[in-house]
Structure 1
Amino acid sequence: MELSFEDKDLFVCCGSAKFARKMASAGPFRSYADAVSAARDIWFNQVDVNAWLEAFSAHPAIGQTASPAQSKNNTSAQWSKGEQSTALATASGSILQELSEWNVLYRQKFGFVFLICASGRTSSEILVELKNRYQNRPIVEFQVAAEEQMKITELRLAKLLSGKDHASSASDDTNMIGVAKKSEEDRVSIISGHLTAGLKSPPSEALQRTTRSRPPITTHVLDVSQGHPGRGIEVHLEKWRQDRPRPAFYGLNTSGWDTLGSSITDKDGRSGPLMNTVDAVEPGLYRISFNTGKYCPGGFFPSVSIVFEIRETQRLEHFHVPLLLSPFSFSTYRGS
């Protein structure tokens, strides 16, 4: 089965006219994997900076339903709404206000809208990521935003392919989750499962990028004083920079840590993804920090940090590092 697209269809997936034209010319494609491979090559190697900015401008700010560029494109607006459905469903008035304020700060610094593949992510998780990425240098953030745009493009290509095989439009990401029967944490698995149901063909080996179903480092918080999960706690994961000398005591030096990810614990006390899902984790020193002072203002610990080491022989293992917390004590252990 060969897959071909028109410019207008591809423009819905990625709001760059130059990208859409080049993708349409590159087809037809033998499979979804071939289409994604072509899309990545065109996006990162063949279009210019103006094409990136054009695509960025086609997205609404997080918390809005449509961008000005989407006002005449109902499909794009519907897909944006579906991609933000989890964030909007979990957003309080105060979080929406804070998102709006940080969106303004972000645009003032970088010159374009904050772009993130929002599918399945709560408003709190997105807010933490927004604050974290605001610290980036502009040249770094420009590349990060381009990567996020490609994630969105891949998801929308999957919807577009499903739409060619089904009369109904896949405009709500919850439908994709139901078809794939997998977690939103594994974006590739979602697309693979969606295409298996929609195109009646097995997923390409190109989609099997990792055998893990979750990141290699995870955590959760248990409030042992209350006997329930620690909900709404900000969590950060960092790694000690390999180009920095190894100190005898890591608590005395804070300048050698690079942030890998941040999240907010959910109703079960579990954090969202703190790093990418990869087969082999890099050996080295890691630190997980918890904003316990905000969770327990009257407690003894304004924050808690857990430093641990992953050795070369442990690259393929999973590391679950939970926090057992009370107002005046805490403990942890190496889980799996």
Structure 2
Amino acid sequence: MEATLNFEEKDWLACCGSTKFAKEMASASPFSSLDQAVSAARDIWFNKVDVNGWLEAFAAHPQIGQSSAPAAASHAASWSKGEQSTAISTASTSILQELADWNARYRQKFGFIFLIFASGRSSGEILVELKKRYENRPIVEFEIAAQEQMKVTELRLAKLFATRTRSAATGDQTFHRFMGTMDLEDRVSIIGGHFTPTPEASSGKPSQEVPTRTRPPITTHILDVSRGSPAAGVEVLLEMWHGAQPRPSFGGRGDAGGWVYQGSSKTNTDGRSGQLTSIVDAVKPGIYRISFNTGEYNPSGFFPYVSIVFEIRESQKLEHFHVPLLVSPFSFSTYRGS
């Protein structure tokens, strides 16, 4: 039986930098294992911490190449230094100057510092990633930064637990098992990837346990780009194709009755939908359609509603699918988010 470990709010704050995150983690404590804490942290960060909380966490980080962020907690400052050690040790004076220049350009465009999981990455690798991500749209880059923050938080949670369990064999095993998971996750594409645990252990052998999700496999949010704010109170409908044909036809001819209701909700004040489908370990592969009642939200707009059709393949059933909508009265776009 694993002993429960309890930490203070300041410990959780050092791991993330968001006061909302720290309060929610303290409320959810104690945790019997690191894995349990990580699951809670993912749920809190992606589902309970709002935009302001994300920005607060970003601001707690030092810029790549700096020693510490303003008013950084001792643990957080020490961890940041260690996380950037490879980048700093591999940086020439010219690279550091170029990083500083690009960091300034990035902050001017997006309004927050460039955030990346820096552990083990050289200064050259980080600079390449910075330049690539600079080309992103702000809403896309904001979510990428949030995912990078979660990577850093998970690593720091492992360090936090290791300080309490270093002398215990069970604690050491948990720590090393988690670090193996982090190595696998670092290989996942940042833009298209998600933090669903891999079904394989670091040994390469299939795991006997299916990963447990902390949120539904299909989610969405809506951003009103004409107002620069989330779109609240928009009805969202999720359906799955179960027609006589294996997939819906182009143009919808003969598709009547083929779409089957999966769930619906309305977006909250952050523009995020409620639960559209059950939290299941493996989502059923197939063709899905997510529709937004944009006509009710903006009666004077061009679109009475917007529908997005996408496919989940057999090889993707353990992944997470975030299908956001960026909308204005006369345009809309989407992308595979996280």
Give the TM-score of the pair, scaled to structure 1.
Answer: 0.52
Superposition deviation, residue 186 in structure 1: 3.2
C-alpha RMSD of the superposition: 3.0
CA pair 129-37 structure 1, distance change in 2 beyond 3 A: same
Superposition pairs of residues 240-319 of structure 1, within 5 angstroms: none
* Alpha-carbon distance change, 101 to 20 in structure 1, aligned in 2, over 3 angstroms: same
Partner of 1:2 in structure 2? Answer: 4
Match of 2:28 in 1: 26
d(CA) in 1 for partners of 2:69 and 2:78? 11
Contact persistence 1:119–1:184 (CA under 8 A): no
CA, structure 1 residues 213+88, in 2 after alignment: closer, same or farther (shift >3 Å)? farther
When residues 78 and 24 of structure 1 are mapped into structure 2, their CA distance, relative to the original with a 3 A threshold, is same
Q: Is the 8 A contact 1:5 1:27 kept in 2?
A: yes
Which of structure 1's runs of 4+ aligned residues deviate more than 3 A?
179-189, 206-214, 312-315
Aligned counterpart, 1:35:
37
- 8 A contact 1:3–1:28 mirrored in 2: yes
Q: 1:155 to 1:95 in 2, by over 3 A?
A: same
- Inter-CA distance 182–150: structure 2 relative to 1 (3 Å threshold): closer
The structure richer in helix per residue is 1
Alpha carbons 2:117, 2:149 under 8 Å: kept: yes
CA 314–135 in structure 1, closer or farther in 2 if over 3 Å, else same? same
In structure 2, the residue matched to 1:99 is 99
TM superposition score normalised by structure 2: 0.51
Overall identity of the aligned pairs, in %? 60
Partner Cα separation in structure 1 for residue 148 and residue 82 of structure 2: 16
2:71 match: secondary structure: helix
Equivalent residues in 2 for 1:148-159, closer than 5 Å: 148-159=148-159
1:31 shift after superposition: 1.6
> How many angstroms apart in 2 are the aligned matches of 1:181 and 1:47?
25
Counterpart-to-counterpart distance in 1, 2:314 and 2:29: 44
- Structure 1 equivalent of residue 115 of structure 2: 115
The separation in 1 between residues aligned to 2:19 and 2:25, in whole angstroms, is 10
Distance 1:212 1:166 in 2: 21
Offset of 1:60 from its aligned partner? 0.5
Shift of 1:182: 6.5
Q: Relative to structure 1, is the Cα distance of residues 31 and 110 closer, same or farther in structure 2, using a 3 angstrom cutoff?
A: same
**Equivalent position SS for 1:52:** helix
Does the aligned pair in 1 maintain the 2:6–2:31 contact within 8 Å? yes
For 1:65, give the aligned amino acid.
S
Asked if structure 1 preserves the Cα contact closer than 8 Å seen for 2:65 and 2:84, the reply is yes
Which residue of the partner structure matches residue 186 of structure 1? 184
1:213 positional shift: 8.3
**Alignment correspondent of 2:70:** 68
Structure 1 pair 210–99 and aligned structure 2 pair: CA distance change class (3 A) = farther
Q: Show CA shifts across 1:70-122 (max 9, x none).
A: 1xx22211100000000001001110000000000000000001000100000
1:59 counterpart SS class: coil
Match of 2:137 in 1: 137
User: What runs of 5+ residues in structure 2 fail to find an aligned partner?
Assistant: 168-174, 188-195, 205-312, 317-338
- Per-residue CA distance 1:243-300 (angstroms, 9 max, x = gap): xxxxxxxxxxxxxxxxxxxxxxxxxxxxxxxxxxxxxxxxxxxxxxxxxxxxxxxxxx
CA distance in 2, matches of 1:86, 1:5: 29
Q: Distance in 2 between matches of 1:180 and 1:211?
A: 10
Q: 1:165: how far off?
A: 2.0
- Over 3 Å counting, the alpha-carbon distance change for 1:122 and 1:31 in structure 2 is same
Secondary structure of the 1:186 match is helix
Supply the distance in 1 between the matched residues of 2:32 and 2:314 (Cα, whole angstroms).
40
- Alpha carbons 2:181, 2:202 under 8 Å: kept: no
Aligned residue for 1:260?
none
Extract unaligned runs of 5+ from structure 1.
Answer: 168-175, 190-205, 215-311, 316-336
Q: Is the contact made by 1:86 and 1:120 (CA closer than 8 Å) also made in structure 2?
A: yes
Q: How many Å apart are 1:69 and its aligned residue?
A: 2.9
AA of the residue aligned to 1:6: E
In structure 1, how many angstroms separate the alpha carbons of the residues matched to 2:22 and 2:98? 34
- TM-fit CA distance, 1:17: 0.8
2:58 to 56, 59, 63: 56
Alignment match, 2:306: none
How many residue pairs align between the two structures? 191
Map 1:316-335 onto structure 2 (within 5 A): none
Aligned to 1:85: 85
One-letter amino acid matched to 1:50 = N
* 2:17 corresponds to 1:15: yes
- Kept in 2, the 8 Å contact 1:188–1:207? The answer is no
- 1:210 to 1:141, Cα distance in 2 relative to 1, 3 A: farther
Q: Is this contact kept in 2: 1:60–1:66, CA < 8 A? A: yes
